[in-house]
């Protein structure tokens, strides 16, 4: 059994259409990027300004971003950032949760909502026709350094 994070197709789409997606998210309105948001933040060590398009999810009534990207460590211990959602820029608190068991619980909640067949819509690749176990999801999160970032309005 294999569970992968962001699919190769999703990564390719992000690279090819990043500028277009950023503009659509900034503009807002009905579009193909309605589940996408922009994270605006400054790197803790480098001071580099980032503007990252990501897919938002709802986990236990909280806005969440699942990622394996290295920039996620900027949110360890929490950080105040700005988020653009549907054309509206808002200040939020970003908290990194990189515990594999916690990641497994959040992923399971999403998979229960969309089903194994709908996992690709979330950018998750599962190569079996059954719901993965908690242990399989936690192991995948551990192997791929996956984490979830929870966003809370300030």
* pLDDT attached to residue 5: 52
Give the model confidence (pLDDT) of 22-45 as tens digits. Answer: 888 998 877 667 788 999 999 999
* Residues 59-99: tens digit of each pLDDT: 889 999 989 899 999 999 999 999 999 899 999 999 999 99
Asked if residue 149 lies in contact with residue 56, where contact means CB atoms within 8 angstroms, the answer is no
Domain boundaries, the chain: 3-153
Percent of the chain with pLDDT over 70: 91
Which residues lie below 8 Å from residue 52, measured CB to CB, with a gap of 6+? 38, 39, 41, 69, 71
Question: Tokens representing 124?
Answer: 């998750």
Strand, helix or coil at 108?
Answer: helix
What is the reported pLDDT for 1?
A: 44
pLDDT score of 2 more than 50: no
**What is the second-level CATH architecture of the domain 3-153?**
Roll (2.30)
The Cα 99–Cα 132 span in angstroms is 18
């Amino acid at each position: 059994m294999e569970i992968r994070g962001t699919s190769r197709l999703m990564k390719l789409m992000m690279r090819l259409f990043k500028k277009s997606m950023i503009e659509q998210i900034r503009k807002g309105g009905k579009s193909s990027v309605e589940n996408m948001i922009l994270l605006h933040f400054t790197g803790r060590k480098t001071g580099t300004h980032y503007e990252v398009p990501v897919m938002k999810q709802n986990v236990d009534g909280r806005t969440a971003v699942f990622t394996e990207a290295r920039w996620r460590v900027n949110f360890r211990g929490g950080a105040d950032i700005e988020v653009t959602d549907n054309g509206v820029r808002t200040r939020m608190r970003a908290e990194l949760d990189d515990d594999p068991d916690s990641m497994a619980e959040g992923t399971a909640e999403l998979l229960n909502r969309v089903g194994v067949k709908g996992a690709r819509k979330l950018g998750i690749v599962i190569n079996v026709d059954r719901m993965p176990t908690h242990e399989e999801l936690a192991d995948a999160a551990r192997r791929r350094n996956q984490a979830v970032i929870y966003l809370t309005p300030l």
